[in-house]
Structure 1
Amino acid sequence: MATPDLRELYLSLVCLITLVLILVGGVQVVRHGLKLLLPDPPPPVFAPPPEPADSTAMLKPPRSYEQAWQQTERLRLQRQAIRGLLVNLVLLVLAGLIYRAHWRRLQIMRRT
């Protein structure tokens, strides 16, 4: 059995690392895809506890404010999911290309 030289060891290590990156990227793509399909509900808007009877109307936020805030929060969560999905898709593509190039070089080295 021939001892692997340093170049073959390097190519094997890069292939291993890129396979791990592909695995992590794939899991994250699924996670962010599920966040897009099944978003978390926005947290409720809590008003401070009411005081005496006359001032309760001033302490509660208006209903339109709650709806606007929840809509903004929903859009923010959607943007984060889309951004995460795109970042991890790029990770998958780049790691796949790097893996393919190094794997081919490793196979060529082993044939000769």
Structure 2
Amino acid sequence: MSESPSLNPAILEMVSLGAAIAVRCPSKTQEMLTRLTERVVSDNQLQEVVAASRQVVEETQSRANQVIDAVMAGEPLENCMQRMTHDSRGSCGSSDGDSGCCGTPADKPTQRFC
């Protein structure tokens, strides 16, 4: 059997940068930015990685805040968590019918992160 090709190191470092941003680790974020700059990764690519990572953080925090708000309003935690999980159609339990996964517009599937 032949080995599958490895990912380009710059791609792996961009994934690491995204993860560092998502978990809000400033030292790892700086380290990955330095490495990627040394690899001559374009500013546009870095900006895309940072923007996508921030969007994941914001969407996740928004969903968590919705659960917290609902629980504080007296809704049982089980009901809140059920809305947060995916049903068999891949939606996040949105009742408006216009939202896709995690509240992203259904017509923009590339912006879905879960």
- Which band: TM-score by shorter chain? 0.3 to 0.5
Greater fraction of residues in helix: 1
User: Higher relative CO (CA 8 A, sep ≥ 6), structure 1 or 2?
Assistant: 1
Give the number of the structure whose alpha-carbon radius of gyration is greater: 1
